[in-house]
Structure 1
Amino acid sequence: MSRTDEANADKDPTARPELGASGLDAAAQQVRSLKSLDRAPPIEPLKPASETRYLISDLCAYLETYLPPEQISECYRAYLFGAEAHEGQKRKSGEPYIYHPIAVARILAEMRMDYQCLIAALLHDVIEDTPIDKAQLAEAFGEEVAELVDGVSKLTRLDFKSRAEAQAASLQKMLLAMTRDIRVILIKLADRLHNMRTLDSMSPEACRRIARETLDIFAPIANRLGINWIRIELEELSFAHYWPWRRRVIQRALQGRSSGARFEMVSLVETTLRHALQQEGIAGRVEGRQKHLYGIYRKMREKSRGFSELADVFAFRVTVDRVDTCYRVLGLVHNLYKPVPGRFKDYIAIPKANGYQSLHTALIGPQGIQIEIQIRTEDMQRLAESGIAAHWMYKSGGQSAGANPTALAADWLQNLLEMQREAGNSVEFLEHVKIDLFPDEVYVFTPKGRIHALKRGATVVDFAYAIHSDVGNTCVAARIDRRMAPLSTQLRNGQTVEIITAPGARPNPGWLNFVVTAKARVNIRGHLKNIKQREAQALGRRLLNTELAALGTTLEMLEPVRLAAYLEETGLGSLEELFGEIGLGNRLAPLVARRLAGAEGADSETRLDNRDLHPHRLAIRGTEGMVVNFARCCRPIPGDAITAIFSPGRGIVVHRAECRNLGGLEGKRDKRLDVEWSKEPEGEFATEIRVEVNNRRGVLAVVAGAIAELGSNIENVQTIEKDGVMTDLEFRLLVKSRDHLARIMRRVRLIPDVDRITRITRS
């Protein structure tokens, strides 16, 4: 493959634009400026962390280090069961399929997982890829193992409209199984890790698809659970397969920066830190390392910087025995090297959402090179690497105060359950999970001093939902540091936020424009969906009664047997469900009414076509909610002659009777609905006017003032300059009726600089 072809292969057509000339392209240009790519220092391909092909004897020998013999025997029995089930199956690489489950079990064994988890790992593809079902598995190895295997298995026996829908449904199934047993996701992470280590046997398209999914879902889940070593390896392997050319560019640039004096600098800093610790009598380990390639690339993207502009490519870790020693070491390193202002983070006092604890500080090291130093205890280091897996790996050891990954994971899983209940479908649920998996955090306080970690950019509404769903649903205002603030205010680190609620309040659809957390978004949508459903049912009942009245009957007069037969025929569970379908426009009230009334002959057609003579019309009050929409093309207001059309999923859309967009529906009575304004409509309605004025200073303020005098609120104004002499002012107003609009237009017409005023109708 040529260099150009490879670069093109790296492009993701769905990704947002990456960086400008000052970003990654600048780093790439540095490499391309070499006389020949072939003359550059050779780049070693990314090797998997383990290329070893483990046999069952190797696995059993390893298990002897921490499991009793009887449990190892059960694992061996599971291997025999799986080997027989997968007999004749091969992986893309050509090797027997059973090697894959053994490798997955070995990864989990290195995490000291219990024997039931290892049995499930050895059998994790049996339900999905062989005739063995869950019941047979439960009979052979118990219900617990069968549940674990079923949780990891994809949904393969259902029909989906697209690959994305199938993927989302399978991931939803896995994540919900994870809420019952966290070991499900640990098995899946081990499975994905081994698949990524052996991805070279797949086609390039499959490699990119799997790598993208790994970066979007599985690496963030590993990070959310605090299993750092799995997260790093998944990211590095995905980076190599999704953006291989970008990885080579960064690696070459890093090799140039890291050679010679740079490595001497790393050695010098390590030696200096160790010597300083010894002088102070502090026992600790010092480790220096070069940051991972994907981490460097991600920072280049996030900060829109080229490689040459990145400073902290090197990091050092100091591991000590106690928490108070961490702060002593912090003072020590700040005395050795000058700290960078604004780059200190105390994750010991305020742990990350996954339980991670450490002190982070950036310093100006030797030769003016910026370095990062992390200071933590041995317990913090174990938790940083293993996260929730430390529950199995270090059962006998203590945990750092204030950081309990198991409890934090349980909180996150509870949020997943809440999102699943409110999400409309699996694709929507997966999108919410993706949002929740990328928390660049901001820390705020309740008035009682409780800390909440939120995604950066979170608003007051996000904070309200983080406290409790009921608080979010009823919030009306907030005090930030004792000062009143709008609900859309973005929060900053260290602020104290007090939420003000009202019993009758409910979520506003406009909140969706600024909330950033998945919990807030899914709760708002779920609440609005329930409101819309109730409004749809009320409207559907009114529509059906109106149509039945036109046919000389009512809902109460219909025979129960006829209603039950119709519900059974249409697959609807209740009358309320039928009303909801009608209200949302998914079923047409005239057709339903004719079926229920048993009037489907020619006579009924005649009666239906003559409905204009019938007094039964649906009265529009303006308070019907989200299922009655007013067309933006003609913007009807009380006093206009109106008609309505059915819109599936939305309900009905009301137009002015003379609207040009109704032209194709004149003869389609089943698509239209006879409506009229209620005698006492409520609320205000949007309409648009165009005012042609002389282009003079202050004329806009004069016109706006005249509109305000007559009690109308201006929602939007747009100026359109015509010829330098005349200007069109287009206003979107809120009015109560046609008479109200007429008074406003008469008042505006009296202004001397106004030449003409008209009501706007858009086609």
Structure 2
Amino acid sequence: MLRQYELVERVKSYDPDADEAALNRAYVYTVQKHGTQKRASGDPYFSHPVEVAGLMTDLQLDEQTIITALLHDTVEDTLATIDDIEKHFGPEVASLVDGVTKLSKIEAMPEDERAAENLRKFLLAMSEDIRVLLVKLADRLHNMRTLHFIKKPEKRQRIARETMDIYAPLAERVGMYEYMREMQALAFRELEPEAYSTITKRLGELRGQDGGQVDAIALKIKQALAEAGLKVEVTGREKHPFSIWQKMSERHVSFEQVTDIMAFRVLTETIEDCYRAMGVLHTVWQFLPGRFKDYISTPKNNGYRSLHTSLMYENSMRVEVQIRTREMHGRNEFGLAAHWAYKQSDKADGQVAWLRDLIEIVDASHDAEELLEHTRMAIYQDRIFAFTPKGALFQLPKGSTAVDFAFAVHTDLGLATVGAKINGRHMPLRTRLENGDVVEIIKGGEAEPQLAWLGFVVTGKARAAIRRAVRLKERDEIAEIGSKLFDEIAIRVPARIGKKAIRAAVKRLDMEEPDDLMFAIGSAKLTDREVMEALVPGCTAEFEEEDDWSRRERQISIRGLTPGLAFELAECCHPVPGDRIVGLRRKGSPVLVHAIDCQDLADGVDTDWLDLSWGQRSQGAVGRLNVTLYDRPGTLAEMAGIFAQNKTNVTSLVQTQLDHPFTTYEIDAEVQDLAHLSRILSALRASDAVAQADRM
């Protein structure tokens, strides 16, 4: 623990004009107020605020921030009041201490109360003064350093999870990467002890085997740049265990498969030298396309500036390199805290600028942007909060996507959605939103909701609107198929079919519009004979029953079953005559007939298996197809024509995916046998309208 004179000397070393007397009074005040209180480690409680103040001196923050750090727990944990703080240390320090206290109170709320807390108030509490946030982050960092002294595992887990979900992302958002990395490492060790131990052990083994490889690579980089006339400082390190764990989890790979474990930092004198160094490295070693990022010309929202690239070093080793000036490095590692130190002469203007980087306050009297952009703050376990580009705030269930957000703003916006920008970047519509994301919905003039959206949206409003729109769209597409099939039927009627005959048929079938007739045909609700009779009553009397393929009843017989025993054809594999089949029998249920290669047979280990075969008169089974069409006019009609030419009833057609320029359908079609199904597949695959056709 820092002694009183050591703390004062630290402050005076970078701020000779600091009020030494005020610093001494604050040190004594916190010692007196916390008195005999003890921490879990057994140390006197006042050691904690003293250490937090020490962290603030590392950032070279002003005396008011140091005093706030010393006093930050006095109001919450002692008999001191804000009025007492203002009386002894002035209104500025009192305001700062009050801000930290408010943050602590919100942090201590039970989950149900915390979920009900208005996010806007939370943001405002943090944004009253940037120094409040800096003290709170230092407070959490020191608490994490002493986390292992807490005896209750559940409490350690709660604090570690809160740190990982709230404080580490928040530190990243304000650019304090050193704080972020240490918080993540300490929380990771508590939350995933086995993973932490394993990765740390493997890193130790790697360190012992490489024979100083990190230093050797750093030297090679420095030599290459020196030969080009660049004076630089190069350092290398292994990536942190949590960073490696993230890559393993995201890529689903083992430790050995993580190729970019080593990272190197190049510090230059000028911005021009940064780009020159990048050019030299890309000339000497092959760089990996898609891994180059220029945060100098386009800084991150938290002010971070650097060039990032990945190189293919000797023996196919990937290494990550960051290039920045020394000044950038100082600001990058400690973000807004470093910015405060550089801008003390212009605190008023700087404060507004930092707040614009920190927060978007939904308030016309403030000039602000977002606080939580690019963070993963999960304060509210049951909901998230996202902003429109203009600052409107929307609450959504956790797990909501850009599509949910669009429908939350307005149903018409959701229906017209074609894309989304999240925090300024184009992202897939299925991207899950996180607290503080700024979402811009991109509209299209002819956009339509997709059935596939139902696979990832979570809000009731979005699901209801999508279902309604998809039903209307499917109706139009099925009616288009019906129209094609109608033309095939009309050819067989002994009369010229015009609009008058169609209107009469619609009336006879008790329908309202010709589209209703086409939809009924396309959805297999009417047989060919029923349509022909509606068009020209009595015209089907001359047809023999066996010649009307559409009227044949499904006649499925199975050999190997006890006479009278009920059976069903499995929906998972849709067996058709010609397939090798097997039956699964469970007590009280019909025998379920599967194709012999059905993957769901693995679930039948607790059932009786029956060796079955098709009877002689088996026909009219349903085959399920997966057909991908090119997304252009006429392809759907051409597919319908192929089914009609092969005398196949389509009993179900569902659009499952729209991925321009392709549209995929799941189709159930009645077929006579496997040979009939194969002919249909061959005809589909031969069509220019079809990109792919397979049996499911």
TM-score, length-scaled by structure 2: 0.56
Unaligned runs of 5+ in 2: 369-376, 390-399, 442-460, 473-480, 487-505, 526-553, 555-567, 570-618, 623-648, 652-696
Alignment length, in residue pairs?
Answer: 463
Residue 310 of structure 1, CA deviation: 0.7
* Corresponding residue to 2:113 among 162, 165, 170: 165
State the match for 1:197 in structure 2: 145
Q: How does 1:234-273 map to 2 (within 5 A)?
A: 234-260=183-209, 262-273=210-221
Q: 2:45 aligns with which of 91, 94, 97?
A: 97
C-alpha distance 200-519 of structure 1, shift in aligned 2 (>3 A)? closer
Cα distance in 2 for partners of 1:685, 1:289 equals 54
User: Per the alignment, do residues 291 and 170 of structure 1 end up closer, same or farther by CA in structure 2, a change over 3 Å counting?
Assistant: farther
Q: 2:75 aligns with which of 110, 127, 138?
A: 127
Q: How far did 1:236 drift?
A: 0.9
* Partner of residue 319, structure 2: 371
Q: Please list, as runs of the form range in 1=range in 2, the aligned pairs for 1:154-553 lying within 5 A after superposition.
A: 154=102, 162-166=110-114, 169=117, 175-202=123-150, 203-260=152-209, 262-395=210-343, 409-417=354-362, 430=380, 487-490=417-420, 516=433
Change (3 A) 1:300 1:349: same
| CA distance in structure 2 between the aligned counterparts of 1:252 and 1:153, rounded to whole angstroms | 40
Selected match of 1:138 from 51, 62, 86 = 86
Query: Shift of residue 173 of structure 1?
Result: 5.5
1:156–1:350 Cα change, 3 Å: closer
Alpha carbons of structure 1 residues 347 and 475: separation in structure 2 relative to 1, 3 Å: farther
| Aligned partner of residue 76 in structure 2, secondary structure | helix
Partner Cα distance (1:231, 1:315) in 2: 17
Secondary structure of residue in 1 paired with 2:330: helix
How many angstroms apart in 2 are the aligned matches of 1:210 and 1:302?
A: 24
- 2:401/2:430 contact within 8 Å kept: no
Which deviates further from its counterpart, 273-282 or 291-300?
Answer: 273-282
Q: Distance in 2 between matches of 1:385 and 1:223?
A: 10
| Matching residue's letter, 1:243 | E
- The equivalent of 2:455 in structure 1 is none
Q: Does structure 2 conserve the Cα–Cα contact (< 8 Å) formed by 1:354 and 1:387?
A: yes
Q: Work out the percentage of aligned pairs sharing the same amino acid.
A: 34
Report the Cα offset of residue 362 of structure 1.
0.9
Work out the CA distance in 1 between the residues paired with 2:202 and 2:166: 29
Residue 303 of structure 1: how far off its partner (Å): 1.6
Match of residue 73, structure 1, among 21, 26, 38: 21
| Residues 423 and 437 in structure 2, CA contact (< 8 A), matched pair in contact too | no
Contact residue 30 and residue 71 of structure 2 kept, 8 A: yes
Partners of 2:424 and 2:108 lie apart in 1 by: 46
Q: Distance in 2 between matches of 1:147 and 1:701?
A: 77
Query: 1:476 Cα shift?
Result: 5.5
Paired residues of 1:219 and 1:235 also in contact (CA < 8 A): yes
- 1:56 deviation in Å? 2.2
Matching residue's letter, 2:206:
R
Question: How far 1:133 sits from its partner (Å)?
Answer: 2.0
SS in 1 for 2:217: helix
Cα separation, 1, equivalents of 2:309 and 2:34: 52
1:316, 1:372 within 8 Å by CA — same for their partners in 2? yes
> Which secondary structure state, in structure 2, belongs to the residue aligned with residue 249 of structure 1?
helix
Check 1:62–1:514 CA distance in 2 against 1; reply closer, same or farther (3 A cut). closer
Q: What does the per-residue CA deviation read over 1:65-122, in whole Å, with 9 as the maximum and x for residues that have no partner?
A: 1234661210211122222221221111122111111011110111111111111111
State the 1:397 CA deviation: 11
Whole-Å separation in 1 of the counterparts to 2:353 and 2:410: 24
1:434-462 residue CA offsets vs partner (Å, 9 max, x unmatched) = 7779xxxxxx9xxxxxxxxxxxx996998
* Contact map agreement 1:226 1:405 (CA 8 A) in 2: no
Structure 1 contact 345–359 (Cα < 8 Å) conserved: yes
Q: Tell me, what secondary structure is at the counterpart of 2:87?
A: helix
Question: In the alignment, residue 356 of structure 2 is paired with which amino acid?
Answer: D
- SS state at 2:13 partner: coil
Q: Conserved in 2, the CA contact under 8 Å of 1:460 and 1:488? A: no
Indicate conservation of the 8 Å contact 1:101/1:121, yes or no: yes
Give the secondary structure class of the aligned counterpart of 2:323.
strand
Offset from partner CA, 1:1-58 (integer Å, 9 cap, x none): xxxxxxxxxxxxxxxxxxxxxxxxxxxxxxxxxxxxxxxxxxxxxxxxxxxx222232
Pairwise CA distance, 1:160: 10
- Structure 1 CA distance, aligned partners of 2:208 and 2:325? 31
Q: Distance in 2 between matches of 1:152 and 1:327?
A: 42
Alignment deviations for residues 611-661 of structure 1 (CA, whole Å, 9 cap, x no partner):
xxxxxxxxxxxxxxxxxx9xx9xx9xxxxxxxxxxxxxxxxxxxxxxxxxx
Distance 1:378 1:486, change over 3 A: farther
Change in CA separation of 1:252 and 1:158 when aligned onto 2, cut-off 3 Å: closer
- The CA distance in 2 between the partners of 1:361 and 1:100, in whole Å, is 40
Shift of 1:127: 1.3
Name the SS of the counterpart of 2:302 in structure 1: coil
Alpha-carbon shift at residue 411 of structure 1 (Å)? 2.5
CA shift for structure 1 position 194? 0.6
- Separation in 1, partners of 2:106, 2:167: 23
Contact 2:482–2:523 (CA under 8 A) maintained in structure 1: no
Deviations 1:250-300 (A, max 9, x none): 11222233323x244323322222222222221111111111111111111
Answer whether contact 2:144 2:186 (CA < 8 A) is retained.
yes
Q: Distance in 2 between matches of 1:435 and 1:367?
A: 47
Equivalence for 2:661? none
Question: Do the aligned residues in 2 keep the contact of 1:152 with 1:174 (CA within 8 Å)?
Answer: no
Q: CA deviation at 1:516?
A: 3.4
**Alignment correspondent of 1:672:** none
Write the distance in 2 (CA, Å) between the matches of 1:158 and 1:268: 49
Per-residue Cα deviation, 1:406-455 (whole angstroms, up to 9, x for no partner): 7764234442546999xxxxx99846997779xxxxxx9xxxxxxxxxxx
Q: What is the 5 A alignment of 1:621-700?
A: none
Secondary structure in structure 2 of the residue aligned to 1:248 = helix
* Equivalent of 1:148 in 80, 96, 104: 96
Deviation at 1:129, TM superposition (A): 1.1
Change (3 A) 1:237 1:711: same
**Letter of the 2:145 counterpart:** R
Aligned residue in 2 for 1:109: 57
Alpha-carbon spacing, 1:201–1:713, altered in 2? closer, same or farther (3 Å): farther
| SS of residue paired to 2:155 | helix
Aligned to 2:514: 709
- Distance in 2, Cα, partners of 1:228 & 1:379: 15
Secondary structure of 1:488's partner?
A: strand
Distance 1:80 1:522, change over 3 A: farther
Alpha-carbon separation, structure 2, partners of 1:348 and 1:111: 23
Judged with a 3 Å threshold, the aligned counterparts in structure 2 of structure 1 residues 496 and 200 are, in CA distance, closer, same or farther, namely: closer
Rounded to whole Å, the distance in 2 between the matches of 1:177 and 1:67 is: 28
1:85 aligns with 2:33: yes
How far is the alpha carbon of 1:150 from its aligned partner?
1.5
The alignment's TM-score, normalised by the length of structure 1, stands at 0.51
CA distance in structure 2 between the aligned counterparts of 1:352 and 1:395, rounded to whole angstroms: 19
CA distance in 2, matches of 1:391, 1:91: 33
